[in-house]
Structure 1
Amino acid sequence: MMRAFFLSILALFSAVASAQQGEAYMVVEANSGKVLMAANSVVQRPVASLTKIATCVIAVDWADATGTDLSQVTATVPPAALAIGGPNPLNLQVGDSMSVRDALYSAMLGSDNIAAMTVANYVGGEMLRARGKTGDPVAAFVGEMNELGKAIGLLKTRFGNPHGLEVGKQRCTSTAADIAKLSIYAMRKPGVTFISRQKERQVTVNGAGGKRGYKIQNTNELIGEPNILGLKTGTTGAAGPCVSVSVERDPLVREKADGEKAVTPRRLIIVVLNNPDRFNRARGFINPGWAAFDRWVAAGAPIENKAKEILDVPNPR
C-alpha cells in the first residue's frame, strides 16, 4: 500500500514536471533534413507511445534482414505483457497468438501496449536464438531499440520498454528533435510506412475459444486527410498528448544536363509533444512548413550552421 502511494506521488510529480516544460515541436523536411520550425526541441521529456515507432522499426528491420514475412510468423502473448496493465482492445490473454504483422497493426494504429510487448517478446527471442544466447527477449529487443538510437544519433533518447508507459523504473524519454530523426528513419522503411498510414485494419487473434476478429482504428485523427502518411500518437500523464506526422508532397522533378530527370522526394515530419490540441497543432504546421521550405529552396538552400539547421539521419542498417 505504501509503495503504491509513493509510486502514485512520483507519477504525479513527473506529470507536473512535463506540464511545466510546456509544448515542444519540430518541423523538418525529411529528404534534406532542413529544420523549418522548432521550439523546446532538445528538451528531454517522456514521449509515451511515440516509443512504438522504434518498436515497429526494429521489427521491420529484423524481418528485412532475415527475409521473414511478418504475416506468416506467429507471436504468443507472454505473461509480462498482461502485467503492465492498461487498455486491452483485443481482449488478449496469456497464450493468445496472432501474426507479428497484426500485432504491429494493433500496436501502431491502436497504440496497444500488450501487442507491443508481444512483438518485442517474439522478435527479441528470435534475435537471441540467432545469436546462440538466452535471456529476457523483451530486454534484448529494448537493447536493440537503444542501439538503433545510438546508430542514428538520438543523443537524448533512452528507451526503457517497447510501449512507452512509465512502469516502475522503466522510462522512455526523448526530445522533439530526436523523435523527428527517428520518424525520418522510420518512414524510409516501406513496411513502416504501409502500416502507419492505414486508417483501420482487421486483425485476427487465436485464443482458447478459437479465432476472433477485431477492427483496429488508427488513433491518429489526421490519417485519411490528403498527403498524410502517418505516423504515431502517444499520451500519458507524464508526456501529455503527442503526435508525429509524416506529410508527403509531389516530388521535385528536374532535368539534368544529360537529359535524364532527377526526382527528389519531398516529405515533412511534424513532431508535437505535450499539446492537448495536438492534431490541430500539427495540421497548422503543414502549410507554413512547406512555405518555409519553398523560401529556403528559392534562396539556394543556404546553410550557415549545419549542426543547428540540418537533421542528419544516417542509414546504418
Structure 2
Amino acid sequence: MNQFTMYENPPSEITCKSWCIYSLKELQVICGANQNMQLQIASLTKMMTYIVVLRFCKKHQIDIDNLQFVVSRNASAILGTSSGLKVGDQISIRDLLFCLMLPSGNDAALCLAENIGSLLYKMQKGLVKSAYVIRNLNILNIQNESTAIQSCSVMSFVNEMNNMAQELGLNETKFSNPHGLHDKVNVSSAKDMAILTREIMKEDKFTLQLCQAKSYQFEVKNQIDNTCRQINLVNTNKLLEKPGYFGMKTGYTNSAGGCLASLFKQYDKIMAQTVEVIIVVLKSDSMENRFVDTQLLVEWYFRQLNHKIKERCKFYEQSFKQMASLPS
C-alpha cells in the first residue's frame, strides 16, 4: 500500500474488481486493490485518444478551432455511445474533443482517429513534406483519401496511442482501438489509468474546462444537405454534480463493467491544505456502482487521512506534556 496506513479496511460494499487512489502531491499510487491487474477499460480508452490528438495538434501548431474534419460513413454508423454525428458533418477538432469526452461518443473517437491517423500515415510515408502544410489545412475528409490511407489511418492512430503508453510507462496497457468497444486485447490497469489521468491534467486550460463541463452546445454544418443544426452534449459523469469532483472519464461495456477515472479535490481543515487525488475504479458491477464505488473510496480515504493526523496531533500533545513535566 505504498506506506499508506489504513485504520480501517476499505469499504466492503465496493463492487469493483480493481481500484486505486493516486496522490497528485506524491505522484504515486498510495493505496489500491489489484491496481496492476490487466482489465478491459471500455471508454477510459478515450483518454488516450484525447491526449494523442491534443499533443499532435500542439506539436504541429494546429489550431483546434480552425481545422475541421468531415464525419465519415464509418464514424457515423459505429455502435455504442454516440454524440449524434451524421455523415458529412463538418466539425472542428475542439468540438470533436467535447463529443469524445462528454457523451463518450464513439463516432467522435473514430472521426478523430481516421483523420489524425491519416496525417500520421502520410508523414510516415513522406506524403506530407512539411509541417507547414498540416498547419494550414482547413478541412480534412478521410473519404477523399486513397483506399490505402483510409485502411491504414486508424491503425496508424492506434500505434501512436501505444507509443505514448510506452513513453508514459503504462506497462499494463495495450490499445487496439480508439474508442474502447469490446476487445479482449484492449486492456489496461487502474494504476496505468491513474497515470494517464495525471498526464491529461498537465494539459492547458482547455482541458480543465472540458473535464469540468457538465454540458456543451455547438453548431454543425453538414456538407451533404447543406444544413446547420445545434448539437447538445451532456456529460455522462454524474459525479460532477457532487462537490469536489472535477472529471475525468466514464466507461462501460458488458465485458469491462463500470469504469471511472475521477479527480477529487478537497480542502482538509485538519491538514490545513487542499488534497488532490485521482481515483480509478475498474469492473464495477453496474454503470451506477462505478459512481457509488468511487464515492465510498473517497470517503474512506479521507477518514484514514484525518485519523492519521489526529493520531499525530495526539502524539505531539503527549510529548509536549511529558516535556513540560520534566524539571527545569
- In structure 1, what is the equivalent of residue 293 of structure 2? 281
Q: Does the aligned pair in 2 maintain the 1:124–1:140 contact within 8 Å?
A: yes
Answering whether residue 161 of structure 2 is matched by residue 149 of structure 1, we say no
Unaligned runs of 5+ in 1: 1-20, 253-263, 301-317
Alpha-carbon distance between aligned partners in 2 of 1:68 and 1:245, rounded to the nearest angstrom: 29
Q: Unpaired segments of 5 or more residues in structure 2?
A: 1-14, 128-147, 313-328
Equivalences for residues 107-118 of structure 1 within 5 A: 107-118=100-111
- 1:155 offset after TM fit, Å? 0.7
TM-score normalised per structure 1: 0.76
Matches within 5 A, 1:20-169: 23-90=17-84, 92-131=85-124, 132-133=126-127, 135=149, 136-166=152-182
1:9-20 equivalences in 2 (<5 Å): none
Out of 243, 249, 264, which is 1:226 matched to? 243
How is 1:127-276 mapped onto 2 (pairs within 5 angstroms)? Answer: 127-131=120-124, 132-133=126-127, 135=149, 136-166=152-182, 171-190=185-204, 191-207=206-222, 208-209=224-225, 210-249=227-266, 266-275=275-284, 276=286
Overall identity of the aligned pairs, in %: 29
Q: In structure 2, give the amino acid aligned to 1:141.
A: F
CA distance in 2, matches of 1:182, 1:298: 33
| Count of residue pairs brought into register by the alignment | 267
Separation in 2, partners of 1:22, 1:265 = 27
1-structure distance, mates of 2:209, 2:112: 17
With normalisation by structure 2, the TM-score equals 0.73
2:53, 2:116 within 8 Å by CA — same for their partners in 1?
yes
1:257-314 per-residue CA deviation (whole Å, 9 max, x = no partner) reads xxxxxxx9742100011112111211222233345457779999xxxxxxxxxxxxxx
Q: 1:293 to 1:159 in 2, by over 3 A?
A: farther
- Which structure: larger Rg? 2
Which residue identity does 2:291 align to in structure 1?
A: F
**SS where residue 101 of structure 1 aligns?**
helix
| Residue 117 of structure 1: how far off its partner (Å) | 0.6
CA offsets, 1:163-189, max 9 Å, x none? 00026xx74211111111111111111
Q: Deviations over 1:120-150 (max 9, x none)?
A: 1222223334442574221111111101110
The answer to whether the 8 A contact 1:102-1:203 is kept is yes
SS in 1 for 2:117: helix
Instruction: Look up the equivalent residue of 1:223 and give its one-letter code.
Output: L
Q: Provide the rounded CA distance (Å) in 2 between the counterparts of 1:183 and 1:28.
A: 10
